C-alpha cells in the first residue's frame, strides 16, 4: 500500500470490513474516541483545545461501537450516536467523523482502532490519540497498552493545577524509558515511538450522563449540545 494519505472514497479491506476516510484530514490527525451518548459542547471544546495546542491538521471523532468498559444495554444505538456526531461537526472546519468501529467485529479496543487508522493513513501521517487524565491513569488495564505508542502519540487532558504531575506519574509507572523533554513539553521514548503530551484544560461542567438524566426529567439541554443535536434527540425521542 502506498505511504501517501488516501484520497476520499478510498477503501481498504480489513478482514471483511471496508473502511472510508475523508480526503482532507491532513498529516497531523487527532483521534478522539468515545461513546458520545450524546456528543456535547465539552467534547467539541476538548477537540478544539488540542487542535490549537498541537497545531493539528484535523480531529477525527471515532464513536465506539461496543465500548469495552461499559454495559452495552445502557448505550444508545451506534447509528444514533454517529448521526449526532456528524450533525455536531457539520460546518466545523477540520472536524470529521469516522464510522470505522461499526465495520469491525467485537469491542472497540483503542489498539485495534489505531492499527486500522495507521494502515489506512500510512506511515507519513502523525496520529495523536486524545484521552482524559482519568482514562490515562487506567491505561494499565487497556488491551496491548505497551503497543499503543508504536502507532500514535498520546495527548492527555488534565486540570491545569496538576496535569503534568499526574500524567508523569502514569508515564513512569507504565512506560519505562520515557523522559520528559522540557523544551518540547512532552515525554519521549525511543526513536519511532509516539510522544506523550500533557494538555492542561479547565474542567468543563457537562457530561453525557447529566444530559441524559436532564432529558429524562423533561429539562432542556440546548445550552449543553449543538442545536442540531438537540433537534435530533427530540425528533428521535432519545433518552426519554
Q: Do 200 and 158 touch, CB atoms closer than 8 A? A: yes
Judge whether 177 lies within some domain: yes
The Cα-based distances of 131 to 1, 4, 17, 197, 212 in angstroms read: 29, 27, 26, 10, 22
Which range among 29-33, 63-67, 97-101 has the greatest average pLDDT?
Answer: 29-33
Q: What is the dihedral of CA 147, 68, 170, 127, to 10 degrees?
A: 50
Judge whether 92 lies within some domain: yes
pLDDT at 19 over 80: no
Average pLDDT for 218-235: 98
Asked whether the whole model's pTM tops 0.85, one would answer yes
Average pLDDT for 141-165: 95
Q: Do 199 and 53 touch, CB atoms closer than 8 A? A: yes
Confidence (pLDDT) at 73: 62
Domain span at residue 48 reads 23-203
Q: How many domains does the chain contain in total?
A: 1
Q: How confident is the model at residue 240 (pLDDT cuts 50, 70, 90)?
A: very high
pLDDT at 14 over 60: no
Q: How confident is the model at residue 151 (pLDDT cuts 50, 70, 90)?
A: very high
Compute how many other C-beta atoms are within 10 angstroms of the C-beta atom of residue 110. Answer: 24
Judge whether 88 lies within some domain: yes
CATH code of the domain in which 85 resides: 3.40.50.620
Q: To the nearest whole percent, how much of the chain has pLDDT over 90?
A: 80
Confidence (pLDDT) at 18: 53
Compute how many other C-beta atoms are within 10 angstroms of the C-beta atom of residue 156. Answer: 25
Judge whether 97 lies within some domain: yes
Confidence (pLDDT) at 103: 84
Query: What is the average pLDDT value for the chain, to the nearest integer?
Result: 90
Confidence (pLDDT) at 22: 81
Helix (H, G, I), strand (E, B) or coil at 190: coil
Q: From CA 212, how far away is CA 38, in angstroms rounded?
A: 8
Q: Do 66 and 113 touch, CB atoms closer than 8 A? A: no
pLDDT at 149 over 90: yes
Judge whether 239 lies within some domain: no
* 48-73 residues labelled b (16+ CB within 10 A) or e (exposed): ebbbebbebbbbbbbbbbbbeeeeee
pLDDT at 217 over 50: yes
Average pLDDT for 61-78: 83
Judge whether 181 lies within some domain: yes
Confidence (pLDDT) at 4: 31
Judge whether 12 lies within some domain: no
Average pLDDT for 69-94: 89
Q: How confident is the model at residue 1 (pLDDT cuts 50, 70, 90)?
A: very low
Confidence (pLDDT) at 15: 38
Judge whether 171 lies within some domain: yes
Amino acid at each position: 500500500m502506498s505511504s501517501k494519505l488516501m484520497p476520499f472514497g478510498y477503501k481498504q479491506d480489513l478482514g471483511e470490513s471496508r473502511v472510508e476516510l475523508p480526503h482532507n484530514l491532513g498529516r497531523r490527525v487527532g483521534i478522539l474516541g468515545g461513546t458520545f451518548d450524546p456528543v456535547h459542547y465539552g467534547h467539541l471544546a476538548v477537540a478544539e483545545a488540542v487542535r490549537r495546542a498541537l497545531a493539528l491538521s484535523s480531529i477525527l471523532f471515532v464513536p465506539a461501537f461496543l465500548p469495552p468498559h461499559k454495559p452495552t444495554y445502557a448505550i444508545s444505538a451506534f447509528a444514533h450516536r454517529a448521526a449526532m456526531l456528524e450533525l455536531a461537526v457539520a460546518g466545523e472546519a477540520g472536524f470529521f467523523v469516522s464510522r470505522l468501529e461499526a465495520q469491525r467485529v467485537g469491542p472497540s479496543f483503542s489498539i485495534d482502532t489505531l492499527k486500522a487508522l495507521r494502515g489506512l493513513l500510512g506511515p507519513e501521517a502523525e496520529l495523536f490519540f486524545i484521552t482524559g487524565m482519568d482514562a490515562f491513569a487506567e491505561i494499565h488495564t487497556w488491551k496491548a497498552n505497551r503497543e499503543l505508542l508504536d502507532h500514535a502519540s498520546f495527548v492527555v487532558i488534565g486540570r491545569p493545577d496538576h496535569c503534568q504531575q499526574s500524567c508523569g506519574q502514569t508515564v513512569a509507572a507504565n512506560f519505562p524509558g520515557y523522559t520528559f523533554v522540557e523544551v518540547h513539553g512532552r515525554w519521549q521514548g525511543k526513536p519511532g515511538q509516539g510522544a506523550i503530551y500533557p494538555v492542561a484544560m479547565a474542567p468543563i461542567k457537562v457530561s453525557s450522563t447529566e444530559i441524559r438524566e436532564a432529558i429524562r426529567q423533561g429539562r432542556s439541554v440546548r445550552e449543553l449540545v449543538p442545536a442540531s443535536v438537540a433537534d435530533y434527540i427530540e425528533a428521535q425521542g432519545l433518552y426519554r
